[in-house]
Amino acid sequence: MGLFCKLLGGVCVMGAAGYFALSLNQTMEKRKQELRKLYSILLQLKSEIQYMYTPLPDSFAKLAKDEPFQSWLVRISQQLSDKKAFSFSDVWQEGLVYLSKISTLEPEDIEPLRELSDKLGAGDIDAQLKAIDYALLHIEGNRMTLEQEMGQKKKVTVTLSLFCGAMTLLLLL
């Protein structure tokens, strides 16, 4: 009976370590997908500004088609349409705080977006396009770095988690 309990405990500890590694890897995978989606959103925003001359509230409403950023984009569009904020910058900065809460994006992913706060809407079209290009460059850079490191990071995460699990098991035994 004692041996059975020890075995069951061991399985639980190793299972928890494995689950922990898996969830960390999933977060990385999700971040990669979100970076890709963010890139695509900014590209669409760029074309809305460049070719359609669509005002920002309408652009964000158009972009808010699907997850994972739907609620963020709807929120920004709504706030801009309400015309209660003093400037676009206020709405955008608040929106980025919300984005960091609902996504797995890291601060370094959000930083290029922060740069857009005083450029979008305010400048002429060229200035805005340049600012979006700059943000796109950084986001793509972050995604590529993540992709390059992901394989290695995934292995390290699994190995370390399982190792920690095994060490815990040894200590408990």
Where do contacts with other proteins occur on this chain (CB under 8 A)?
49, 53-58, 80-81, 83-84, 86-88, 91, 121-125, 128
Q: Pick between residue 74 and residue 160 the one whose CB is nearest to other proteins.
A: 74
Q: How far is the CB of 61 from other proteins (least distance, A)?
A: 11
Kindly report each contact of residues 167-170 with a partner whose C-beta sits within 8 Å and lies 24 or more positions away, as own/partner: 168/13, 168/17, 169/9, 169/10, 169/13, 169/14
Of residues 13 and 80, the one with the C-beta less far from other proteins: 80
Measured from the CB of residue 29, what is the shortest distance to other proteins in angstroms?
35
- Give 77 or 161: the residue with its C-beta nearer to other proteins: 77
We find the least distance from the C-beta atom of residue 88 to other proteins, in angstroms, to be 4
Cis peptide upstream of residue 68 (ω within 30 degrees of 0) = yes
Alpha carbon 63 to chain centroid, angstroms: 17
> Which residue, 29 or 94, is less far from other proteins as judged by CB?
94
Residue 95 CB partners (closer than 8 Å, separation 6+): 72, 75, 76, 79
- Both tokens of residue 66? 């699907």
Residue labelled with tokens 């890709």? 36
Residue 74: CB minimum distance to other proteins, A: 16
Supply the DSSP symbol for 123: S
